Amino acid sequence: MFYALLTIFAAAVAAVDQWTKVLAQQYLTGTTVTIIPGWLQLHYITNDGMALSLFRGGRWMFVALTAVYLAVVVWAIAKKHIYKKPELWCLAAITGGAIGNLIDRVQTGLVIDMICIPWFSTFNVADIFITFGAIILVLYILIKDKEFLEDKPKKDKEPRDEA
């Protein structure tokens, strides 16, 4: 049941991301809505790169990397390498965001962005879930899950003779 909730959460993140992108395309094209002057605006742009327009034109590289990410996450969860609930919630947030942006990249090659912090960047709902999911995951591992970072040798099933 817990994994079903994680899947629903990731799907909801992707759905809300796609919905906000449709709304941005319909209502923000050619206009800027200032919410907090100098700090927060809404406007429609497209991006064929990643954050801060890095790696522009890398559509299929991003599609491939997202597919690899999804395969690794599914494998790690299925093999119980990742099993703690806070880590799984963070991965669900990241996965939902990754799927939201993947849909754009496969359909058009361009990711739609609409949330603008003028002195920083323009991004979308998927980017928010990817970023905060990753930040919270890293902080959780560094602060709470010391075991994840331990570099202990695996215990042998049978004792070895030390001669």
Judge contact between 126 and 100, C-beta under 8 A: yes
User: What angle, rounded to 10 degrees, do the helices at 125-143 and 85-107 form?
Assistant: 150
- Bridge partners of 113, per DSSP, are 45
Residue-by-residue DSSP string for 109-144 = S-EEEEEEETTTEEE-HHHHHHHHHHHHHHHHHHHT
Q: How many other CB atoms are there within 10 angstroms of residue 82's CB atom?
A: 17
Question: Active-site residues: which are they?
Answer: 113, 127
**Residue corresponding to tokens 């817990």:** 2
DSSP 80: T
- Bridge partners of 92, per DSSP, are none
Six-digit token string for 134: 């990753």
